[in-house]
Structure 1
Amino acid sequence: MIITAAAFGLIVGGLLGLVGGGGSILAVPALVYGVGLPLSAAIPTSLVVVGASSAVAVVPRLRNVNWRLAVIIGAAGTATAYLGTYVNRLLDQKVLLLAFAAIMVIAGVRMMMPTKAAGGSCALPGGGVHWRSCLPKAIATGAVVGFLTGLLGVGGGFLIVPALTLVLGLPMAATVGTSLVIIVINSVAGFAAHLGDLHIDWAVTAAFAMAAMAASLLAGRLGTNIPDRILKRSFGILVLAVAAYVTAQALLT
């Protein structure tokens, strides 16, 4: 079990290091179907793994992090994630999965389409930020992403990366680093919400997390040398693949 956990940790960490997202949506299925943990243990374990590996992956990208945006979006998302979690309990899970897949298809297609150079009030040509127009967008983005993350239960990075790129206009290099910081914030908040009823195998968690952190650090260093266009297109393909898988699971189960 520990070896299997480490193997999946390499995959999850590598993905986080390269594109700044996608770890949580793979970590939970890997822990449940690959490692054999119950869902009650897989969710908090995933939060530890994804949070720790994201913190390590951001180290090579510290110069590219927009810290103010990360804190604003993370704070707004933390508040609305609890609301999303509450609504999640009221809705049919198949409906939620299909909604998630639809959002992923839209985000994936948009990420793969040719776009104008990134920019806007949150990413001025000179590298600054016009906060009067950017701040409302950042708060709204954080609130929506946080709500959807809580509502759907997985995929924080899959939502944050397209939001930072398509809504706020950040270049991919800044998007990846900023996304990783936001994921760390969300992971800490999510783990704190599970402290009252925590079921976790710390040996499996440690093996998964150590492998993920090592892979995310290496991938993070390699990712800084990959052009934005390739990262965006690769991320878009990955999002569409996950959307297809989620749709199949929702319709066939």
Structure 2
Amino acid sequence: MRALLASPLGFLIGMALGAVGGGGSILAVPALVYVAGQNPHAATTTSLVVVGATALGGMLSHYRAGRVKLGPGLVFGLVGTGGSLVGAFISKQIPSNLLLFLFSFLILFAAYRMWPKKQKAVRDSEGGTGTGISADLPSDGDGSSVVVAQKTDSRTKMIVLVLVTGTVVGFLTGLFGVGGGFVIVPALVLALKYDMPEAVGTSLLVIAVNSAIALLGRVATSHVQWSIAIPFTIAGLLGSLVGRRVSDKVPTKTLAKAFVVLLLIVGAYVAIKSVMVL
């Protein structure tokens, strides 16, 4: 019965994944704990099934629209393998209520990351004043060497950003059972210069890969309650299809702002509930 009550939230999570490429999965654990009645450790494991399957389902529709970069997405996901396995191991060592308390901070951080930023900030980060490359170029000498140096520096920064972000996302997925789309999408835009639709579609592939790896890291010691995971996942898959259509009709900024408000409410609720029993 509780699984059926949690299913509408699964639909909402899938809808967020399909519409904005991230953030929605972070609601899976609170829904599984406070509505479906699972303990936090079981919820983070079940969440990996829900999030991975929902992300994969949402990714397929984006793939048909040509918005998924398979090669880079797989590489980005595999980069997080080490972080994912470490996160899964650490998660089992943390007391349940402390895990939820830490999770509430992640929710609030996700809300901050998902709030639409001014376009100028993105442009600066992509190669304007925010790149860190000096605009005072030499007035004489071989200008081509400067261009090569700048390209090499830019490529190095891109590789470092992908490695660091991939590892961090993998760690968060293993630790909390979340997808990390709120980190992946900006990284794909800034590091790989994807436009937003491509970043959203590719992020779903990364989330699916990270979730599968983290689940493998838990399979020997954790149990998935399929009576909850299956209906929750089905609802999430349906939601991702609806979210994909909604994203074509409603401005992304409007969707993001509405979802951020929901994240703030849930984050505050989880923090208060977990503090009361610490």
Q: TM-score range by the shorter chain?
A: 0.7 to 0.9
Q: 1:69 aligns with which of 68, 72, 85?
A: 72
Answer with 70-79 or 243-252: which moved more: 243-252
> Separation in 2 of the partners of 1:239 and 1:170?
26
Find the counterpart in structure 2 of residue 120 from structure 1. Answer: 126
> Separation in 2 of the partners of 1:163 and 1:35?
33
Find the counterpart in structure 2 of residue 207 from structure 1. Answer: 231
Distance 1:166 1:252, change over 3 A: farther
- 8 A Cα contact 1:96 1:152, kept in partner: no
Find the counterpart in structure 1 of residue 138 from structure 2. Answer: none
User: Are 1:156 and 2:180 an aligned pair?
Assistant: yes
Displacement of 1:250: 5.0
> Separation in 2 of the partners of 1:36 and 1:51?
21
> Separation in 2 of the partners of 1:22 and 1:224?
18
- 1:1-253 alignment to 2 at 5 Å? 1=1, 2-62=3-63, 63-87=66-90, 89=93, 93=99, 96-97=102-103, 100=106, 103-104=109-110, 106-108=112-114, 111-116=115-120, 120=126, 133-154=157-178, 156-165=180-189, 170-253=194-277
Listed one character per residue, the Cα deviations across residues 102-150 of structure 1 (whole Å, up to 9, x for unaligned) are 6335424xx42312365838xxxxxxxx856533322222122223444
Alignment root-mean-square deviation, CA: 3.2
| Count of residues in correspondence between the two structures | 243
Distance 1:229 1:11, change over 3 A: closer
> Separation in 2 of the partners of 1:39 and 1:95?
11
Distance 1:227 1:23, change over 3 A: closer
Identical counterparts, % of pairs: 36
Distance 1:95 1:169, change over 3 A: farther
Please report the TM-score for the alignment, with normalisation by the length of structure 1: 0.78
Displacement of 1:56: 1.1
Answer with 35-44 or 54-63: which moved more: 35-44
Distance 1:15 1:147, change over 3 A: same
Distance 1:159 1:237, change over 3 A: farther
Displacement of 1:86: 4.3
Displacement of 1:167: 5.9
Q: Name the SS for the 2:220 alignment partner.
A: helix
Larger radius of gyration: 2
